[in-house]
Amino acid sequence: MKKWIKNVTVGLVIPSLLLLAGCAGANGGQKNSAPAPSQPASTSTSPTPTSNGIKERTLKAGIGLNEDHPEALGLKKFVELVDKSSGGKIKVQPFFAATLGDDLKMTQALQGGTQEITIPSTSPLVGMIKEYGIFDFPFVFNNEKEADAVLDGPLGQKLLDKLPAQKLVGLAYWENGFRNLTNSKHAVAKAEDFQGLKIRTMQNKVHLEAFKALGANPTPMAFSEVFTALESKTVDGQENPLATIQSSKFNEVQKYLSLTKHVYTPFVFLMSKKYWDQLSPEEQKIMKEAAVEAGKYQRELIRDVNKKAVETLKASGMNVNEVTPEDAAKMQKIIKPVTDKFAKEFGEDLVKEMYDEVEKLRKK
The residues binding ligand KDG (CB under 6 A) are: 63-65, 71, 103, 120-121, 176, 202, 223, 240, 265
The residue at minimum Cβ distance from ligand KDG is 64
Question: Which secondary-structure segment (H or E) carries 331?
Answer: helix 325-346
Given the complex with ligand KDG, which of 102 and 357 has the nearer CB atom? 102
Minimum distance, C-beta of residue 65 to ligand KDG, in the bound complex (Å): 4
Closest CA relative to residue 200, chosen from 179, 176, 217, 177: 217
Minimum distance, C-beta of residue 291 to ligand KDG, in the bound complex (Å): 15
Given the complex with ligand KDG, which of 284 and 298 has the nearer CB atom? 298
Minimum distance, C-beta of residue 131 to ligand KDG, in the bound complex (Å): 18
Minimum distance, C-beta of residue 182 to ligand KDG, in the bound complex (Å): 12
Given the complex with ligand KDG, which of 265 and 278 has the nearer CB atom? 265
DSSP 121: B
Q: Could you tell me how far CA 92 lies from the centroid of its own chain?
A: 19
Given the complex with ligand KDG, which of 103 and 283 has the nearer CB atom? 103
Rounded Cα gap, residues 69 and 77, in angstroms: 13
Closest CA relative to residue 269, chosen from 176, 175, 170, 155: 170
CA dist list (Å): 319 to 164, 290, 311: 44, 39, 11
Rounded Cα gap, residues 248 and 135, in angstroms: 23
Given the complex with ligand KDG, which of 202 and 294 has the nearer CB atom? 202
Q: What is the CA radius of gyration of the chain?
A: 22
Q: What residues form DSSP beta bridges with 246?
A: none
Given the complex with ligand KDG, which of 121 and 298 has the nearer CB atom? 121
Given the complex with ligand KDG, which of 30 and 238 has the nearer CB atom? 238
Minimum distance, C-beta of residue 263 to ligand KDG, in the bound complex (Å): 10
Q: Are 66 and 35 in contact (CB under 8 A)?
A: no
Minimum distance, C-beta of residue 40 to ligand KDG, in the bound complex (Å): 29
Rounded Cα gap, residues 56 and 261, in angstroms: 44
Minimum distance, C-beta of residue 141 to ligand KDG, in the bound complex (Å): 16
Q: Which residues contact 340 (CB under 8 A, 6 or more apart)?
A: none
